[in-house]
Chain A
Amino acid sequence: MKSRLLTVKPSGIRIEVVEAGKGRDLLYLHGAGGHMPADPLIAALATKYRVVAPLLPGYGQSTGEDGLRDMLDIALHGLDVLEALKLRKPIVVGHSMGGMIAAEMAAIARTEVANLCLLAPAGLWLDDHPIADIFSKLPYELPGLLFHDAQAGARLLASGGDMNDPEFLKQFLVMNARRLGMAGKILFPIPDRGLGQRLQRIAARTLIVWGTEDVLIPPVYGHAFKKAISKSKLTRIAKAGHAVGQEKPAAVLKAIREFF
């Protein structure tokens, strides 16, 4: 995995782009937590694809978040990034918040995004199945919310540091405030910015992937996405929570390979 900086036109926003692997172009848009240290999903996808994974402003070394305030700003930024990266017929993959952004991009630029993969995307709200409030969670509560195997998840999240070390925790809190501060613009307090009425515009062949044990955005949302997107398929991954790609990278890679 290597990373570089890229200036996006015409906004002038400077972003960090992680790249790995060879093969067909695959754009990966991360969730609200950003990339994990040595992200297992990016690593798995890179065995078969050329993975290009830009970080949203507010994440990593990407800056310019103050100019992005709402869903339209962020979806258009995503399309600017797609253009700047000069990818050839990429598979556009988005996880959770990244899935919400990818779906918006596909709904807006319906002729440009032809292959779409949504991993447990955010963006809809069902009154009978409320989504947990990630913004009020404390660091120690996150593994159980994101992973089916919370212990393994905790190890993944904290790799590279110790949550009991005040210095590491301070850095984590600063980064977390920056990341989730940005994420809050489209996810707070309810992760619904009207995507539901735009999903019907999506013309891309769409693979929807959901962990059967997702307790953050329950699997019932997978059916709602499938129902609303015409050329779509829903694949469920056993023993996986919300971070389905990080928890079961091989199974997600297999599903993507089979569909596209």
Chain B
Amino acid sequence: MKFTWFHLMPWPHMPDDFREKHRSVWVDLPNRMYEPELGHIAYHQYLDQLEYAEQVGFDGIGVNEHHANAYGLMPSPNIMAATLTRRTSKAALVVLGNSIALYNPPLRVAEEFAMLDVLSGGRLVAGFPVGTSMDTNYAYGTIPALTREKYAEAHDLIRKAWAADEPFAFNGRYTKLRYVNCWPKPIQKLPPIFIPGGGSVETYDFCLDNTYSYSYLSYSGYLRAKLLMEGYWKRVAERKVDESPYRAGFAQVICVADTDAEAERLYGPHVNYFYNRCLHVYPGFADAPGYRTVKTIQTGALSQFTQAAARDYPKMSWKDLVDGRYIVAGSPETVRQQMEELIKTLRVGNIFCLMHVGNMPNDKVRHSTRLFAEKVMPHLRNLWPEWKNHDDRFWMHPMNEPVPLKVAAE
């Protein structure tokens, strides 16, 4: 198993009456709510937490991209990952990822990911999300019905830019470049690539065609994810490729304390903040018309797969969230049992652990993180013995002798 400690970096200062006063945490929430000097503290605390996760033994540390929102404050995840290259030395840097259709030209992603890979000594795991409709369409103005075509072209350009050894011309519909010439090039000739998906067959096939890992980033927990992941594994079987669990990953909110009751006492308010404020998205922004293919809507309209349904959480109590397995929370033993069930039922080799939740203060984040690393993770390590805890195709390939950074700093 590979465990990535994943940070969303939410704004932790939304008021108690946020839900009543604002229709959406995303797109049109006035940025007067953002206070830069408090932001300074939050960013550094968040980066410290990612560094701490490496210290206690997580395999990867993760960041991602969002725009115009208080849910996740990383318009540029690459800036965050760049700071982490200097203060970490072992963990994979999982950038999940860059919304490649939003970069102009998308060659920028090939360049910046190459920079991160070189800086980190080959520790990059690259994510290529389409991006949420809130980010891609409403905040960044991409025409919904052309988003996927633009994405596919951007992907083509990036792959060609990394593969080429000399300049070439790229005549795309959306990007035209006479000289594509990616300097620097990544240490890993092709970094492992993770694709966040939401249940469309096209995305399953895209991952299988390219040997990318399929990541389902839901906050609804593994019981509701089962149907979607079964669809993925069914497709894997149909395509007659191997069933490596590392072909798939899942994001999970995890809270560990000494006892189940203590978990509720410690983390209850922060989980509540996350589900009821961070995920409070106006349904009109969740799914711009044309963003999904008609085929995908027909199979998933009004079901759990729609973003509106997945993100528009009704007010749920701690008990609702725990019993429904939206969150995995409790004593190390409770968390171990539920994580094992999650990993086995979804057949996933990658877990994106969401251990900073909502407005959780630093000491609690570290407490939960340390308990998971020390008392849970060791018991989950070897759930796929036939795969020996590793699949080379879906994890980083660091260089043998990177610069010892502390010496370099002196």
Contact = CB atoms under 8 A, between A and B. Distances in A.
Partners in one complex: yes
Name the 8 nearest CB pairs between A and B, nearest first.
A181-B290, A180-B289, A136-B284, A181-B145, A189-B141, A177-B289, A170-B301, A184-B290
Specify the main secondary structure of chain A where it touches its partner: helix
A179 interface: yes
Interface stretch (B36-44, B161-169, B292-300): B292-300
Contacts of A174: 294, 297-298, 301
A189 to B, nearest CB: 5
Contacts of A180: 289-290
B294 A166 contact: no
Nearest to A179: B289
A156 B147 CA distance: 32
A75 B302 CA distance: 35
28 contacts: A65-B145, A135-B144, A136-B284, A138-B283, A138-B284, A141-B284, A170-B301, A173-B301, A174-B297, A174-B298, A174-B301, A176-B289, A177-B294, A177-B297, A178-B294, A179-B289, A180-B290, A181-B145, A181-B291, A184-B143, A184-B144, A184-B288, A185-B145, A188-B137, A188-B141, A188-B144, A188-B290, A189-B143
B403 interface: no
A177 B292 contact: yes
Contacts of B284: 136-138, 141
Contacts of B145: 65, 181-182, 184-185
B292 A173 contact: no
B146 A173 contact: no
B250 interface: no
Nearest to B27: A136
Interface string A112-145: 0000000000000000000000011110010000
Contact of A135 (B146, B288, B302): B288
A65 B293 CA distance: 12
Contacts of A135: 137, 144, 288-289
A179 B290 CA distance: 8
A69 interface: yes
A178 B282 CA distance: 21
B282 A136 contact: yes
Interface string B120-155: 000000000000000001100101111000000000
Contacts of B285: 136
Given A138-B284, A178-B294, A184 B301 contact: no
Nearest to B301: A170
A178 B288 CA distance: 11
Given A166-B302, A188-B143, A177 B138 contact: no
A182 B138 contact: no
A169 interface: yes
A57 B272 CA distance: 45
B144 A181 contact: yes
Contacts of B173: 69
Interface in A44-75: 65, 69
Nearest to A69: B146
Contacts of A176: 289
Most chain A CB neighbours (cut-off 10 Å) among B146, B284, B290: B290
Given A136-B284, A136-B288, 18 more contacts: A65-B145, A136-B285, A141-B284, A170-B301, A170-B302, A174-B294, A176-B289, A177-B290, A178-B289, A178-B294, A179-B289, A184-B143, A184-B145, A184-B288, A184-B290, A185-B146, A188-B143, A188-B288
Interface in A174-228: 174, 176-185, 188-190
Given A188-B143, A189-B137, A182 B290 contact: yes
Nearest to A137: B284
A169 B302 contact: yes
A174 B299 CA distance: 10
B258 to A, nearest CB: 45
B86 to A, nearest CB: 38
Interface in B221-249: none
A85 to B, nearest CB: 26
Contacts of A65: 145
A65 B143 CA distance: 14
Contacts of A173: 297, 301-302
Contact of B289 (A166, A169, A170, A184): A184
Interface in B6-56: 27
A173 B284 CA distance: 12
A189 B138 CA distance: 7
A69 B172 CA distance: 14
A137 B291 CA distance: 15
Contacts of B141: 188-190
A173 B282 CA distance: 16
Contacts of B282: 136
Nearest to A65: B145
Nearest to A32: B289
B27 to A, nearest CB: 8
A68 to B, nearest CB: 10
Nearest to B173: A69
A247 B23 CA distance: 31
Among B173, B285, B292, B297, max chain A CB count under 10 A is at: B297
A141 B284 CA distance: 10
A179 B292 CA distance: 13
Nearest to A176: B289
